[in-house]
Amino acid sequence: METFEYINHDFPWFFAGISFIFGAIVGSFLNVCIYRIPEERSVVSPGSTCACGEPIPFYHNIPILSWLLLRGKAACCGASFSVRYPGIELLTACLFLWAWLIYTPLVALVGMLFIAFLICATFIDLDHMIIPDRFSIGGMVIGVLLSFAVPGLHGFEGLWLGAAIQSVVSSIIGALIGSGLVYWIAVLGEIVFRKPAMGEGDVKFVGFIGAFCGWQGAIFAMFGGAFVGSVILLPILLAGHLFGGKKEPEPVVEEADCEEDLQFGAQVPFGPMLAVAGLIYFLGFSQYVDAYFAEFASFFFGA
């Protein structure tokens, strides 16, 4: 630890650079997870292959750089690779660096796992309108366990055992309040609109965010996610209304077919918006949100 503190103090860019590189490598792995997990395939084997079936050698699989050097095309057949691959690698690298710069090393490492889960769940939800339980329920359990091991995740310090107990209690409360809040909002939404307002995956996903961020983070993710969704979706829907022109009458289809054909505007994944709000809270906005809730409690309850 003395060596680590010496290097981190005198050469702060060294571990910051490592966190960025580590994030890019993890981002490359997340690309595999995003593609394979919904298909229930192993994320370990076989190794990465091109669309033509050729294995991708390691020197053509360097995060971010390989895509740039190859100009977004496969070396074996010239097929184009989506810009999303280096985009996710760069996004993960930047968020890992951000976490390293604002937190202590242990909390930053836990935060990197939290960020990786958020990114994976976000893009799977965008692609398939699902959030796998391994990220929501599994992430919730992992969040509670890591809260006990690293009390600083919830801001508790002092004697380890006492701080660990306080931290794990905060994590459990966050998971329960987060999932419970979304559940009842979904129930009320279904009563008012006479159709499901949110999926069960969203309920569990906010519980996962609460396990890592506490009840304040869970509430902020819920309402902050709704705000993010409004900011993103309203301009898109308005533009579609203004420039979409007249639509041809849609053919009558069977009910089963309607469930398979997801139309943008009829069903929109809420998970990515929850994830963005959770990231905003975790990566610096928590102090303002926590201060607001503390002032709110003091005003109404004198606490």
Q: Are 183 and 263 in a shared domain? A: yes
Q: Are 284 and 191 in a shared domain? A: yes
pLDDT of residue 50: 76
Q: Are 193 and 301 in a shared domain? A: yes
pLDDT of residue 253: 41
Q: Are 148 and 212 in a shared domain? A: yes
Q: Are 90 and 156 in a shared domain? A: no
Does 31 fall in a domain?
A: yes
Does 124 fall in a domain?
A: no
pLDDT of residue 261: 40
Q: Are 256 and 162 in a shared domain? A: yes
- Give residue 149's domain range: 131-303
Q: Are 216 and 137 in a shared domain? A: yes
Q: Are 136 and 252 in a shared domain? A: yes
Domain boundary among 102, 117, 149: 102
pLDDT of residue 257: 42
The C-alpha atoms of residue 94 and residue 149 are separated, in whole angstroms, by: 26
> SS3 letters for the chain?
CHHHHHHHHHCHHHHHHHHHHHHHHHHHHHHHHHHHHHHCCCCCCCCCECCCCCECCHHHCCCCHHHHHCCCECCCCCCECCCHHHHHHHHHHHHHHHHHHHCCHHHHHHHHHHHHHHHHHHHHHHHHCCCCHHHHHHHHHHHHHHHHHCHHHHCCCCCHHHHHHHHHHHHHHHHHHHHHHHHHHHHHHHHHHCCCCCCHHHHHHHHHHHHHHHHHHHHHHHHHHHHHHHHHHHHHHHHHHHHCCCCCCCCCCCHHHHHHCCCCCCCCCCHHHHHHHHHHHHHHHHHHHHHHHHHHHHHHHCC
CA angle 7, 8, 13 (to 5 degrees): 100
Q: Are 272 and 159 in a shared domain? A: yes
pLDDT of residue 51: 74
The phi, psi pair for 80, rounded to 5°, reads: -80, 140
The phi, psi pair for 49, rounded to 5°, reads: -130, 155
Q: What is the pLDDT of residues 253-303, one digit of tens each?
A: 444 443 344 444 446 788 899 999 999 999 989 888 988 888 776 666 654
CA Rg value for the chain: 22
Q: Are 92 and 235 in a shared domain? A: no
Structural domain total, the chain: 2
Does 120 fall in a domain?
A: no
The phi, psi pair for 73, rounded to 5°, reads: -125, 150
Q: Are 266 and 189 in a shared domain? A: yes
Regions of the chain short of the pLDDT cut 50: 245-266, 303
Does 112 fall in a domain?
A: no
- Measured between alpha carbons, how far apart are the two ends of the chain, in Å? 39
Q: What is the pLDDT of residues 233-247, one digit of tens each?
A: 667 656 655 655 444
Q: With CA atoms as reference, report the closest residue to 120 among 107, 138, 144.
A: 138
Does 117 fall in a domain?
A: no
Does 97 fall in a domain?
A: yes
Please state the pTM of the whole predicted model. 0.84
Domain boundary among 65, 81, 102: 102
The C-alpha atoms of residue 177 and residue 269 are separated, in whole angstroms, by: 21
pLDDT of residue 110: 97
Does 285 fall in a domain?
A: yes
Q: With CA atoms as reference, report the closest residue to 278 among 218, 198, 200.
A: 218
Q: Are 93 and 135 in a shared domain? A: no
Does 114 fall in a domain?
A: no
